[in-house]
Amino acid sequence: MSEEFIQSRQNPRVKALQKLQDRAGRRKLGLFAIEGLRELSRAVETIEVDEIYFCPEFFKSEGHSAFVDKIRAEGRIELCRLSEGAFEKVSNREGCDGLLGVAKQWGGQLADIALDEAKNALILVADGIEKPGNLGALMRSADALGADALVITNPVSDIFNPAVIRASQGAFFSVQTAVSTPAEVSYWLKQHNISAYGAHLGAQKFLWQADLKSPVAIVMGCEKDGLGEDWSLLLDQRIKIPMSGMSDSMNVNVAAAVCLYEALRQRRGGA
């Protein structure tokens, strides 16, 4: 497979790649960018990557060259070399490492989530998350703590935002993710006999007092206002994390991780 070497920043392919930095451009093209060795290495193991662009001048380790050599030897993904100027134009990062892949977006439908009937489901629901970094971090927590899926309602950040993928550190490609409305998610949870437990400051029960061993979805609200009103009538139970300081809230990913850890503790028979 022959490899093109693009040097001009005005090349049509470079301009098309640059559009993937923008939500409207990604949506129009139906594509998204995957930048960085760690993210791209995990992507090629789990999804179909259409193209990989590289710039050896930005490689930060021998692992970068080894990755390109491996892709070249396999011959299933198109490789294209970019000049330093061209790569800087398409990169979304300061201190880029010279690797960027392109893949097709997917639907992220609830119906696509596969649940293991042999174990009790654990779902993380994220409502109205504004910051891409937080959304990516939630993916990392869901992956690390064994959640079966991350479901996003009232989305603000585009899940294909490069900042989401970067913050997920590759978990983007391992966590089942869907985007839907609170009402649709509530109906889907009931179909699968999964209770919805919402993290809420007005809750009377601490999270360790709730039964998190049963099939459960932990619903987290947005950074600024918490859970929206549209979730208030859909919850089976409200739970809260005890706070002893002056602050009445914590980062949404930290709160989600605390709740997921408690679910993991209960499921492993922790006292």
Q: Which among 255, 14, 35, 25 has a CA at the least distance from the CA of 137? A: 255
- Measured between alpha carbons, how far is 61 from 56 in angstroms, rounded to an integer? 10
User: Average pLDDT, whole number, for the chain?
Assistant: 92
Residue 206 predicted with pLDDT over 80: yes
Read off φ and ψ for residue 20, nearest 5 degrees. -75, -10
| Domains parsed from the chain with CATH numbers | 4-104 (3.30.1330.30), 110-267 (3.40.1280.10)
- pLDDT mean over 97-113: 95
pLDDT at 204: 77
Q: Among positive and negative, which fits the CA dihedral 178, 134, 24, 105? A: negative
pLDDT at 271: 55
- 121-166 pLDDT per residue, tens: 999 999 999 999 999 999 999 999 999 999 999 989 899 999 999 9
Residues of the chain above pLDDT 90, percent: 79
- Measured between alpha carbons, how far is 139 from 173 in angstroms, rounded to an integer? 9
- 3-54 pLDDT per residue, tens: 899 999 999 999 999 999 999 999 999 999 999 999 999 999 999 999 999 9
